[in-house]
Structure 1
Amino acid sequence: MSSVIASADRSTGMVATVKMGSQSMKIDESGVATGEDTGPGPMDYIMSALGSCTVITLQMYAQRKNWPLERAQVTLQQRTLSGLEADLTPGNKRTVISKTLQLTGDLTPDQIERLKDISSRCPVQRTLEAGVLIETTLV
């Protein structure tokens, strides 16, 4: 079970401190109210998790197959749909994340196609696509 503690108070405005085990970081909603651009925003961390999980998954798979994948890079862009465009998506999803892969190495076309397929199987992408049940308790 993974545990994360996030906190913010009146003095920090739109800046939160997040602790994960012995690590901590700042998350700053700099585009609103009193954000101070002291750290990435919440969606940046979701995108970072997806991107890092994708390239790590690709490297693990290529190593296991002994394929010559030298470098995997993914560029992510997020946009929000509205109106009819959103209504026409499966499940009426409103957020779209576009992934662009760049694979470097002496790979065959079949290996490249397989790595593209594997890139969508990282645990973070599977979690995002499946959706998450969030239970809230007040203490």
Structure 2
Amino acid sequence: MEASPLIPASVVIKVGPAALLAEVHAGRHTFFLDEPVAVGGQDLGPTPYDMLLSALGSCTAITLRLYATQKKWPLESIEVHLSHQRVHRKDCDKCEASGEMLEEVYKELRLLGPLSPEQRQRLQVISEKCPVQKTLTSGAMRIITTVAE
């Protein structure tokens, strides 16, 4: 699998001519993403939005683990439950128009262990500082697309 000479790729995705199944190569790891049968996929893997939520959730949990370990807090286990939906910014006649929908992610933390209320509150604040969440909420990301020859 070769990267473009202009862009050293850390992730490469391949989709064939007939299916929606995406073969993902991330470093030395290979896995598949797909769409549900209801929208034309084969449901052989998580959806791209599942992976986006997975990136956010795992980054959150890892950030919390690192922080709690550094503080020597009794955080025994972390669960991050996530969901995504598109919601209308406001009631309007043109809600399907560009910019009228808002992407919304719900993130629920389950912090297991004998933590004090203050520790739980601090961990909630720290959870919002994970690098993936900062990237998603910064509004400063630019995606530059080119077509290779």
Output the TM-score relative to the length of structure 1.
0.88
Distance 2:75 2:52 in 1: 25
Q: In structure 2, do the counterparts of structure 1 residues 18 and 94 end up closer, same or farther at CA, with 3 Å as the change threshold?
A: same
- Return the letter of the residue paired with 2:142: L
**RMSD (Å), alpha carbons:** 2.1
Q: In structure 2, do the counterparts of structure 1 residues 115 and 83 end up closer, same or farther at CA, with 3 Å as the change threshold?
A: closer
**Structure 2 residue 145 is matched with structure 1 residue 136:** yes
Q: Which residue of 1 aligns with 2:48?
A: 42
Q: Residue 7 of structure 1 is aligned with which of 9, 14, 17?
A: 14
Between Structure 1 and Structure 2, which shows a larger proportion of helix residues?
1
- Return the letter of the residue paired with 1:22: R
Work out which of the two has the higher radius of gyration on C-alpha atoms and give 1 or 2.
Answer: 2
Deviation at 1:58, TM superposition (A): 0.5
Structure 1 gaps, min length 5: none
Q: Residue 74 of structure 1 is aligned with which of 74, 77, 80?
A: 80
Q: Which residue of 1 aligns with 2:30?
A: 24
Deviations, residues 59-90 of structure 1 (Å, cap 9, x unaligned):
10000001110111111111111251698xxx
CA contact (8 A) 2:15 2:23 kept: yes
Q: Residue 111 of structure 1 is aligned with which of 110, 119, 122?
A: 119
Output the TM-score relative to the length of structure 2.
0.83
Identity of paired residues, percent?
Answer: 41
Q: In structure 2, do the counterparts of structure 1 residues 129 and 92 end up closer, same or farther at CA, with 3 Å as the change threshold?
A: farther
For the residue of structure 1 that corresponds to 2:144, the secondary structure is coil
Structure 2 gaps, min length 5: 1-7
Deviations, residues 82-127 of structure 1 (Å, cap 9, x unaligned):
251698xxx9661100111111111111111000100111111111
- Return the letter of the residue paired with 1:3: S
Q: How many residues align?
A: 134
For the residue of structure 2 that corresponds to 1:39, the secondary structure is coil
- Return the letter of the residue paired with 1:123: P
